[in-house]
Each structure stands twice: as C-alpha cells, then as structure tokens.
Amino acid sequence: MSRLSERPDVAEVGKAIPHESAALHVTGQALYTDDLVIRTKDVLHAWPVQAPHAKARIVGMDVEPAYGVPGVVRVLTADDVPGVNDAGVKHDEPLFPDEVRFFGHAVCWVLGETLEAARLGADAVQVDYEPLPSLINVKEAIAAEEFQGAQPTVERGDVAGGLDGAAHVFSGEFEFSGQEHFYLETHCALAHVDEGGQVFVQSSTQHPSETQEIVSHVLGLRSSEVTVQCLRMGGGFGGKEMQPHGFAAIASLGSILTGRPVRLRLNRTQDLTMSGKRHGFHAEWRIGFDDEGMIQALEATLTADGGWSLDLSEPVLGRALCHIDNAYWIPHIRVSGRVARTNKTSQTAFRGFGGPQGMIVIEDILGRCAPQLGIDALELRRRNFYRSVDGVDQTTPYGQPVRHPERIAAVWDQVQESGDVLRRREEIATFNAEHPDVKRALSITPVKFGISFNLTAFNQAGALVHVYKDGSVLINHGGTEMGQGLHTKMLQVAATTLGVPLSKVRLAPTRTDKVPNTSATAASSGADLNGGAVKNACEQIRGRLEQVAANGLGVPAADIRFVDGEARAIGASGPGVAWDEVVRTAYFQRVQLFAAGYYRTEGLHWDSSVMRGSPFKYFAYGAAATEVEVDGFTGAYTTRRVDIVHDVGDSLSPLIDIGQIEGGYVQGAGWLTLEDLRWDESDGPLRGRLATQAASTYKLPSFSEMPPDFRVTLLEHAHEDGVVYGSKAVGEPPLMLAFSVREALREAAAAFGPVGTTVDLASPATPEAVWWALSEARRGHDTDHLVEGKPGAQPDLPDPEAPPRRPESEVEQVLLSEA
C-alpha cells in the first residue's frame, strides 16, 4: 500500500459528516459573489447589449444615446480594451466582436448607477447589423463541412476484417441533445481596483487561475497584478470552468476605466442565452457481433456541436472518443471525431465532460441491437464486460490497461442481488401481460469512467497550510467549492493527516494569491489533486512537530503518532503531549509552522496526436438498476425504483459521496429524459434564438421525478492504491448511471409490441418521444434507422460528404405508415 493511500486506524476521513456549509446554506447565511455587492460602496452595474441575429456583421454602432439615459456612467466597447480583445484561451472568442456569431451575442456593455439605468442604457445603444447565413443544427454544419479544431481518431485492430467476419452487422445513426447547466447562481463577478492598480475580482468560477489569466491579458497586466477569489459557487457542473472569464474581464475593465467597483450578474434569461451548454452530438456507427453476442468490431463517427467557438470542445470530444467503449471489450475499433461550428452559444464543459456523450452511443447500440440478436439486453451487456485474460487486464482502444476489471462484474452482480432484479423482472413480465395499456421495464447499465484530466499538465495541485500558536489550523487549496463537498473532504484530510479533531481545522476561500497556477476544479479530480497537496503540506508540518514531541518525550521521532489531538509514543503507557502544547513549544523553538504542499498525479502519459497512452489514474465503476412504468396513452412515465452500487474506493466522506451519487443520477436522468433544448431553426427573423430560455419552457428534474424508492450502496473493499487515503472520485461518474432509466424506457416502449421488437428512442426521451417509440412498437415495425446486414456484409454508413437526409416530421411518419 502506498504512503498516499495508507489510512490510519483513527481518522476523520471516512466519517459521515454533513457538508461544511450545510447550516449556512439552509439558513441563508452562506455568502455568494453577488451577496458581496451590498458590502461594497459605489458599485456600478453592467448590462449587455445582445444581438438579435444568429450571425451578422456589425456595420455601425452608436453608443451616444445611452449617455442620455440618467444614471449611465460608461459604455464599454472594443476601443476601451488596453490588452487583448479576447476572452478565450484559444483566442477565438472576441470580448467585443465585430461579427455576431450567435443570437444573444453581447456586442458591448453598459455600466450604470443602478441595474435599471444600465438596462435602459443598453436599450438605447443603436447597432446596425448586416445579417449573414447561419448554421443552427449539427446536420446543417456537417452538410456545409463547417468544422473547427482537431479531428482525432481512436483506432485498434482490423475493423474491416472484424466486420467482414462478424455473424451480425448493424448500422445506424443517433443524434442526442445537449443540456443546460441551470445552476442556481448565474454567472457573476465583482471587481475593484486598489490604490496601487491591483485588480481584485470576486468571481463565481471553477478555474480562478484561468480567470486571472484572461483578465490579465484583456487588461494588459501581469498575472501578479490580478487576484481572483472564489468564495463559493451556487452550482457549476462545468459551466463555470471556462465561461466566467469574459464576464470577470468586463467587470475588471469597467472598474479600471471608472475607478469604481463593477458588478456583473446575468439574470436567468441572459445566462441561458449567452452561456454554453453540454455538447449535443451526432453519431454514425456500424457494429459487428458473433453468434454469441460478443462485439467483434465497431466503426463510428462522432460529431460534436461545438457552437460558435472552440472553448473546450476538443478535449470534450477527446474524452468522448476515449469513453465510447464504456465497460465493454471491443477488439477491433475505429472511432473518428470532429467538432461542428454552429451559430449557437459556445458549448462547454458539463459534468462528465464528453464521457456521457461517448458512453451513450455504445449503450444505445446495445439497447437497439439486443432484440435483433435475440439476447436479453442485460445478458448482452454482461457478456461483453472487460475482464482479465490469463491474468492480464484487457486494454482500452487507446491502449490503457483496465485495472480491477472484476469490479465491473462485482457492482453489476451486487446491484442485481440487492435489487432482487430477477424476481422483479418476472413480476414485470406478468404485469405487462395483464396490462395492455401500461408497461413496466427494469434495466441495468454499467459505468467505467476514467479519472484525471486528459491534458497531463493539469494533473497537479497546491495547498498552503498554517498552524497558529494556539494550535488552530487554516488550510488553503486550489480547488473551488460549488456545493459538491470538496472543502468538507479537505478539512477531513487535513485533520486526519495532522491527527487532530476536525474542530481544530478551518478552511479559507480559494484565491490566486495564496495558491497559484491551479487547475480547474473539474474532471472529478478535485479531491485527488487538492487532497494530495493538502496531505503533503500537513505531512511537512507534522514531521517537524514529531521531532519536537520526540525531544519532549525522549523517544525517536519515528515512534511519535498524533492521534485525537495528542502526541503519543508507540507502546508507551503514560500520557502523551497535547497538540496545543507541542505547537506552542515548536513556536518557541523557532520551528516553521506553515507549509506549501504540492501534488502531481504519477503514471500518466498521453499523446493526443495519435490518441494513445494512459491518460487516467484509474477507472471508477458503478451499476444502476432502474424500473419504470409507461402510460401507453400519453407516453408519460414514472421511475418506480432505483438501485445503485458505486465504487468510490475507500470513501473520504460517505455522506457527501452518497449525495453526489444521488444528485449525479438525477441530473443524468434530466439530460436523458426531460431537458429538451430547442433553438429556432426556421428561416424567420428569430432564427437561432434559444426558445427554451426559462424554467417555464426548460423542464428540470424536481421532487416529482425522484424515484420513491432510491437505494444507493457504496462498493465495499474497494481501496484504491496510489490515491489520497485510498479514495476514488465521485463527481462525474454517477451521472452515467442514469443510462439505465433511458434503457428501461426503451424496453417499456418495446413491450407494447411483439416479442423481439426494437425501438429507436430519441434523446431526451421526453413523454412525447416515448409515445412515438411505443406507437412504433405497437405497429410492429422495427426502427428504420437500424439495419442488419447478412453475415459478413457491411451496411454502409451515411456518406459524410452528402447532405444529410432531412427526416419527415413525426406526424408525417405516422400518416405515411397508416396510409
């Protein structure tokens, strides 16, 4: 067992404690960025001027009328930027554009004494546009060959030969939507400049160091002249990894120019229409199976809808390609990827970061093909799991060994047993036979998710730990808190490493002048990276204090242990020395009581040019069984029960981890079943406008969608060596457990037809989509989009060079079929 993962017998980690800010959250005392405005004097408010076109050239702008509005102080335009007029790390996101690239694009910003003054001033700004042709959906971009960024391929084996030799070959295509983050706290920044010209920005950001970098280059300053602090976020989910930077830069620029603090907070409609979402994808695929249902070969093309700029589309696409295998061994595989450029918001990171988009493709394929193969979908999935062969772990398509593959089967078998799946499926079969207009189904899907940033350099972290003379401890680390419980875990790690009660340790807000050059709190790596850095800093301090205590007790330093706030010698029967006393003695002996900790993830290597290597420290595993009931008249459905077994290693904080698993599942179910982003694709004046720009038109999962029976179990005996205290990440992997609800809905819809029926289920599987699927099943038709070739045949994939076939509307499909 490594030193990093070794856990002492008495530890604060592993205890089920509440979130460190839970009481503040529920009492309304927790402070967020915008709460600081009332504590700040003479604040100006920012409001955007948003373009009413999906794509247009700006041919004229008159800001003078805005100054006629009482309370307007300044209008910010490109002429005001002292540094680089760009808010992105790829330099493809002009802060003040000369060409509008999506409906709602901010072309300038108005600063006012009040928010209302700024809004009225923005209305007064006169902008002349020359509308240009636009691309709104991914198929339009594919037809126009409008792509951006790299076009990587993951490949292994002989795909053509594998398909030639397969007994059953299927092909199809699959398009699925993105997802709105809909965090409770919208994008927000508050900036002011001190007497020395130092810029201080309070920002709701997952990546303070990158916010600092972007603000610096917009203002033409060095990074050391800008400090960014994130107190906490009211949710992030990836939406605040890249996108806060431009808003912080606007607030900072306004503060520099006016000499006053500037607050920028988007209202909900602005946030929905201006900020990026999860990438929707279009997939074309061809797959071969043998007679036993074993996957022989897979060929696929994944096209991500990137929106108007690159943002994080390239790494999102890369992770999708690296996760298309999910938990399944695919001997011959070739998966190509590309990013479409469309005139929509620039799509960005979202919980799972491309992993869900890759994994849903193989899960959709297996769900569609299982009835055609005459194999139960649960059995088809289990047969194809990764395993060790003659003691050697099978490898992913990009060449990384899948360590602990037995855990895939372990979580699967445990969820089957604890969920009493076999008995319940028999009951469901009986129920379905007796109820022609209501059907139930129960499906299980697995999760294998790689943990670490795909970009190796991001896998590092720092921390700063202070021990004060009175024995109290203050920790700073580079991770940000967005409600996920990272700070709670870091408090537990520090207390465990120092051997003191949790009450001794306090945590300071994340800020760039305490811990520099931090990575984003993303990729489910927050606890791994920052926990390693906090542990390292605490170990330095503990090592010094062990020597002080050893001198006082007359034993070797190696024999000292700090337990429950007391230094004790191994094997000694007498009393130890209190932590506070050791600390006080150390101070008077001039022993350093603070330390900067550092951690870098070992064992990673990745070559993105050939998509080969070992980009992940380990894989997190899980399985979920979901039972649903579908109404055959409306397509409405309820989730009756969910059983989950998930692998978090040796949990740092079980209460936090179970909450993350529950929340991840529900958010994933929202993406797959409810949350339906719609843009106006007509040729009218509102082309490109986001139609679902409020909670009234964008349906989020709520209490009514929660399963009444929701059971979550953490996999036991799952220690992960080489990770802080043997734990595993929990932020993103649980979201993919929700594939089980979509597959259950597919099986329930198919149950309205004859045995062996397969249905093509849209994503999100809204009640409307489920109704179309079950109506198709009732007519006894297989999906037109799933084609089986004869043994050895290779059904053609849609020609990517050809314009996409525009399918008939759902109403037209029904009328044609009935005719």
List residues with catalytic annotation: 732
Q: Position of tokens 């405005």?
A: 37
Q: Are 371 and 750 a contacting pair, CB within 8 Å?
A: yes
Q: How far apart are alpha carbons 633 and 434 in whole angstroms?
A: 16
User: Which residue, among 495, 478, 524, has the nearest Cα to 660 in the 3D structure?
Assistant: 524
Q: How far apart are alpha carbons 14 and 5 in whole angstroms?
A: 13
Q: Are 401 and 395 a contacting pair, CB within 8 Å?
A: yes
Beta strands 618-631 and 637-646 are antiparallel
Amino acid present at 391: G
Q: Are 719 and 726 a contacting pair, CB within 8 Å?
A: yes
Question: Considering Cα of 632, then 172, then 445, then 615, what sign does the dihedral take?
Answer: negative
User: Which residue, among 118, 115, 250, 275, has the nearest Cα to 190 in the 3D structure?
Assistant: 250
Give Cβ neighbours of residue 476 (< 8 Å, ≥ 6 apart). 463, 464, 465, 507, 508, 510, 511, 514, 515
CA 327-330-332 angle, to 5 degrees, is 160
Q: Are 524 and 454 a contacting pair, CB within 8 Å?
A: no
User: Which residue, among 137, 341, 101, 324, has the nearest Cα to 804 in the 3D structure?
Assistant: 137
Give Cβ neighbours of residue 82 (< 8 Å, ≥ 6 apart). 219, 220, 256
Q: How far apart are alpha carbons 458 and 525 in whole angstroms?
A: 10
Helix, strand, coil percentages in the chain from 3-state DSSP, rounded to 5: 35, 25, 45
Pairs from 696-700 (Cβ < 8 Å, separation ≥ 24): 698/180, 698/182, 698/272, 699/674, 699/675, 700/182, 700/670, 700/674, 700/675
Specify whether the backbone of 485 is left (phi greater than 0), alpha (psi in -120 to 50) or beta: left
Cis check: omega of the bond before 764, within 30 degrees of 0: yes
DSSP string computed for 189-246: EEEEE-TTS-EEEEE--S-HHHHHHHHHHHHT--GGGEEEEE---S--TTTTSSTHHH
Q: How far apart are alpha carbons 602 and 532 in whole angstroms?
A: 11
Q: Are 728 and 620 a contacting pair, CB within 8 Å?
A: yes
CA separation, residue 639 to residues 312, 513, 685 (Å): 34, 48, 40
Structure tokens that stand for 711 in this block: 């059971």
Beta strands 709-714 and 637-646 are parallel
Using CB atoms within 10 A of its CB, is residue 430 exposed (0-12), middle (13-18) or buried (19+)? Answer: exposed
Q: Are 683 and 709 a contacting pair, CB within 8 Å?
A: no
Q: Are 714 and 646 a contacting pair, CB within 8 Å?
A: yes
Q: Are 739 and 508 a contacting pair, CB within 8 Å?
A: no
